[in-house]
Amino acid sequence: MFDNYSRGAQAMSESPFVVVEGLHFSRGDKDIFRGVALQIPRGKITAIMGPSGTGKTTLLKLIGGQLTPDAGRVLIDGEDVHRLSRKALFAVRRRMGMLFQSGALFSDLNVFENVAFPLRVHTDLPDAMIRDLVLMKLEAVGLRGARELMSSELSGGMARRVALARAIALDPELILYDEPFVGQDPISKGVLVQLIKRLNDALGLTAVVVSHDIGETLSIADYVYVIADGQVMAHGTPKTLDVDQDPRVNQFVHGEPDGPVPFHYPAEDYFSDILREGGVR
Amino acid sequence: MIHHVTALGRRGCNLLEAMGRAGIFLAQSAVGVPSKEGWTLWLRQMHFVGVLSLAIVLVSGLFIGMVLALQGYTILVDFGAEQALGQMVALSLLRELAPVVAALLFAGRAGSALTAEIGLMKATEQLTSMEMIGVDPLRRVVAPRLWAGFVALPVLTIGFSVVGIYGGYLVGVEWLGVFEGSYWSNMQASVEFVNDIGNGMLKSLVFAVVVTWIAVFQGYDLIPTSEGISRATTRTVVYSSLAVLGLDFVLTAIMFGGLS
Amino acid sequence: MKRSKTMELGVGLFMLVGILGLVFLGLRVSGLTLQPPSDTFRLQANFGNIGGLSPRARVTMAGVTVGRVSEIELDTEWYDARVVLELDGELEGKLSRDTTAAILTSGLLGEQYIGLSVGGDPETLQAGDTIRDTQSAVVLEELIQQFVSNMVNE
């Protein structure tokens, strides 16, 4: 185990890697974010949590510069993502890896070529070197033996691990995980949790995990932001959140079906709805 | 009443906006210096949209040439002008049928597949992840497909014409007994290389740009759900067929209708 | 990315089919010749009426194609049609000065072409010369008119 205290102290002394300030974003008439502000510290695992439909994936897309906010800004290592030219933006993106919910492997390439893809397009390394690097990354996710398979032949968990190998192929400084645990069986979940933790420890990556799987996420996160209703509802270390007194946070962290976040979609009174005359709709 | 006018206006605005997006899309993806890598990607797409469409285009061309000869013969023989069969078959193929029918077949065979393929890549976030890796999907995914379409359709059209003329020869000369010499010499006397073959190829090139553009744009712009993909595929075939037939009239009027 | 040899071969063949097809269309269908243009020479002929003669129509001698019509324009001096013929180079200096040119029709509704027939003059036509003795196209309406007026006169 690493010496967590010294490492933590060192990381905190540096400026945060990602800063989000006063972020507003709406899609159509619906406000998704109303003034979200957060800081992602260097070399740590930061979790962004919240109920489904609160725009967690949208937040990642805003950080990655794929969407433009209505107001506010996103700084990555001091650079405002949304003010960069297309070329500079792509240069910043080379320093990030992103793990998509679906894996998003290229369906016309096999596992090896998928992982080799970022290396081939961004470096001029000779083939032998690329091969070594790819095998190294595949070994890290335990799929060195599956290198010849096509992406359609992989199970969901394997596809996500290959995608992880691809995301770390260029040794990024920041890695964004979009719902890494969704739809995985307990074994794959455990594998992924371990992988994320190990990558972070071994490579010193800054990681952002977007998820609503509370148990898995809280077990590896150093810091947690809870987002609901377009705002940051609470933030803190997993320990402080666990005992947070806010009823909404409490409901989410402990997974209670009804509470301040209602079980029912907004509707008129059940009784009067049923007894409405005519009985149509 | 006002309501309908408003609705019409809104549809007009939406249409204009979509066309603007499509134009920017074409400009961004088709322009640019291809790399060595791009050459390989183009080759792969040529195989997909060109080589694999060759069979259906050639077989259709053969049958259309044969039907033309059969129909043309029964009409021409009434005027005792069956020697003009070669000229009739060749001119109708080169000026009209080869560019149009090849483009329609291309829209159905290759265009719909392009839409579905790009649409699926979008739905499975492959395009997004490519962007996050720092590769522009317009250059990497769209451009090779566009250029493959631009080159493949004119080549297919040439194949269509050649096979069609040969089909006309089979029916007219070998079966119906038109004199072989007059089949070819009448054809040679009336077909002009620049005016007929050149204009036919120009038509085909225009259709190639339009069909491939529609197909690829529909794939790129669709709503990434299974329903969205199926709708976009249908739209590709419908829009490109209409565009080909409409443009064909305009081009024919300019090229052969004495409007120029 | 690996290139597949069969794919390259397929695309290569595909392009080859296109090029060969275009060559076929050029040579066999539109009758282009591969001979360089220097191998021909030009003569002019004025006709009172060319009927439906069009550029690229055949020029024949004794039924053998020896050249093509390259240009047709109105001669504003005489208000008749000046036709420029492009003939095989080997005929240069071999056609007698009193060679006649006639616009003929192949079959009843076939294309129109020019038929040359040689006279007996020892002097020969050189490139750029004009054929004096010409016979205009037969126009169906004129033929009928003549026929009708002959009937009336009788």
Q: Does C21 touch chain B (CB under 8 A)?
A: yes
For residues B98 and B109, state if they share a domain.
yes
Interface test with B, best of C29, C58, C104, C106 (most B CBs within 10 A): C29
**Closest C-alpha to B215, from B141, B165, B139:** B141
**Closest C-alpha to C10, from B47, B147, B45:** B47
For residues B187 and B234, state if they share a domain.
yes
Q: pLDDT value at position A6?
A: 44
User: Greater confidence, C154 or A188?
Assistant: A188
Q: Is the pLDDT of residue B65 over 50?
A: yes
Q: Does A92 touch chain C (CB under 8 A)?
A: no
For residues B40 and B59, state if they share a domain.
yes
Q: pLDDT value at position B34?
A: 64
**Closest C-alpha to C107, from A66, B182, A109, A22:** B182
Q: Give how far A258 is from chain C: nearest CA, Å.
A: 53
- Domain hosting residue B80, numbered range: 34-257
Q: Does B136 touch chain A (CB under 8 A)?
A: yes
For residues B49 and B16, state if they share a domain.
no
Contacts of B29 in chain A (CB under 8 A): none
For residues B117 and B246, state if they share a domain.
yes
For residues B43 and B3, state if they share a domain.
no
Please judge whether B90 and C28 are an interchain contact, meaning their C-beta atoms are less than 8 angstroms apart: no
Contacts of A117 in chain B (CB under 8 A): 133, 135
Q: What is the DSSP letter of B49?
A: I
Q: Tell me: the pLDDT tens digits for B104-151?
A: 999 999 999 999 999 999 888 888 888 888 788 888 888 889 999 999
A150 has which bridge partners? A110
User: Greater confidence, C104 or C2?
Assistant: C104
Q: Rounding to the nearest 10 degrees, give the CA dihedral for residues A248, A250, A251, A253.
A: 120
| Cβ atoms C60, C67 nearer than 8 A | no
Contacts of A120 in chain C (CB under 8 A): 1
User: Which of B126, B134, B140 comes nearest A93 by C-beta?
Assistant: B134
Quickly count: other Cβ atoms within 10 Å of residue A115's Cβ.
29
CA distance B21 to B159: 34
User: Which of B37, B121, B129 comes nearest A98 by C-beta?
Assistant: B129
Q: Does C1 touch chain A (CB under 8 A)?
A: yes
Helical (H) or strand (E) element with C103:
strand C100-105
Q: Does A109 touch chain C (CB under 8 A)?
A: yes
Q: Of A153-167, B21-35, C126-140, where does mean pLDDT reach its minimum?
A: B21-35
3-state secondary structure chain A: CCCHHHHHHHHHHCCCCEEEEEEEEEECCEEEEEEEEEEECCCCEEEEECCCCCCHHHHHHHHCCCCCCCEEEEEECCEEHHHCCHHHHHHHHCCEEEECCCCCCCCCCEHHHHHHHHHHHHCCCCHHHHHHHHHHHHHHCCCHHHCCCEHHHCCHHHHHHHHHHHHCCCCCCEEEEECCCCCCCHHHHHHHHHHHHHHHHHHCCEEEEEECCHHHHHHHCCEEEEEECCEEEEEECHHHHHCCCCHHHHHHHHCCCCCCCCCCCCCCCHHHHHCCCCCCC
| Cβ atoms B90, C29 nearer than 8 A | yes
Helix, coil or strand: residue C100: strand
CA distance A130 to A136: 10
Q: pLDDT value at position B72?
A: 93
Q: Does C109 touch chain B (CB under 8 A)?
A: yes
For residues B1 and B87, state if they share a domain.
no
C131 has which bridge partners? C45
Contacts of C1 in chain A (CB under 8 A): 109, 113, 120
Interface test with A, best of B44, B126, B133 (most A CBs within 10 A): B133
For residues B135 and B9, state if they share a domain.
no
Nearest chain B residue to A87 by CA distance is: B134
Nearest chain A residue to C1 by CA distance is: A113
Helix axes B226-255, B199-221, angle to 10 degrees: 160
User: Which of B37, B129, B136 comes nearest A104 by C-beta?
Assistant: B129
Q: Does B224 touch chain A (CB under 8 A)?
A: no
Per-residue CA distances from A206 to A57, A177, A210, A220 (Å): 18, 11, 13, 13
Please judge whether A94 and B129 are an interchain contact, meaning their C-beta atoms are less than 8 angstroms apart: no
Return the partners of chain A (3 or more C-beta pairs < 8 Å): B, C
Nearest chain A residue to B129 by CA distance is: A104
For residues B77 and B203, state if they share a domain.
yes
Helix, coil or strand: residue C55: coil
Contact residues for B197 (Cβ-Cβ < 8 A; gap 6+): B94, B191, C22, C25, C26, C29, C30
For residues B120 and B161, state if they share a domain.
yes
Please judge whether B188 and C30 are an interchain contact, meaning their C-beta atoms are less than 8 angstroms apart: yes
Contacts of A121 in chain C (CB under 8 A): none
Q: Tell me: the pLDDT tens digits for B161-204?
A: 999 999 999 999 999 988 888 888 888 878 888 888 999 999 99
Sheet holding C58-61, edge to edge: C130-131, C40-47, C80-88, C64-75, C58-61, C112-117, C100-105, C133-135
Q: What is the DSSP letter of B135?
A: -
Q: Give how far B143 is from chain A: nearest CA, Å.
A: 16
One-letter amino acid of A155: S
Q: pLDDT value at position A10?
A: 46
Contacts of B124 in chain A (CB under 8 A): 102, 104, 107
Nearest chain C residue to B86 by CA distance is: C29
Q: Does C62 touch chain A (CB under 8 A)?
A: no
| Cβ atoms A23, A71 nearer than 8 A | yes
Q: Give how far C1 is from chain A: nearest CA, Å.
A: 7
Q: Chunked in runs of 10, what are the mean pLDDT values of chain A (281 residues)?
A: 44 71 82 85 86 79 84 85 83 84 82 88 86 88 85 83 87 86 81 85 86 82 84 81 73 72 75 72 54
Q: Of B70-84, B227-241, C49-63, where does mean pLDDT reach its minimum?
A: C49-63
Contacts of B135 in chain A (CB under 8 A): 90, 117, 121
Sheet holding A231-236, edge to edge: A96-99, A174-178, A206-211, A45-49, A223-228, A231-236
Please judge whether B126 and A122 are an interchain contact, meaning their C-beta atoms are less than 8 angstroms apart: no
| A→B interface, C-beta within 8 Å | 61, 64, 66, 86, 90-91, 93-94, 96-98, 100-102, 104-107, 117-118, 120-122, 163, 166
Q: Tell me: the pLDDT tens digits for C29-41?
A: 887 766 555 578 8
Q: Of A112-121, C14-23, C51-60, C133-142, which one has max mean pLDDT?
A: C14-23
For residues B56 and B179, state if they share a domain.
yes
Q: pLDDT value at position A202?
A: 82
Q: pLDDT value at position A12?
A: 47
- How many domains, in total, are found in chain B? 2
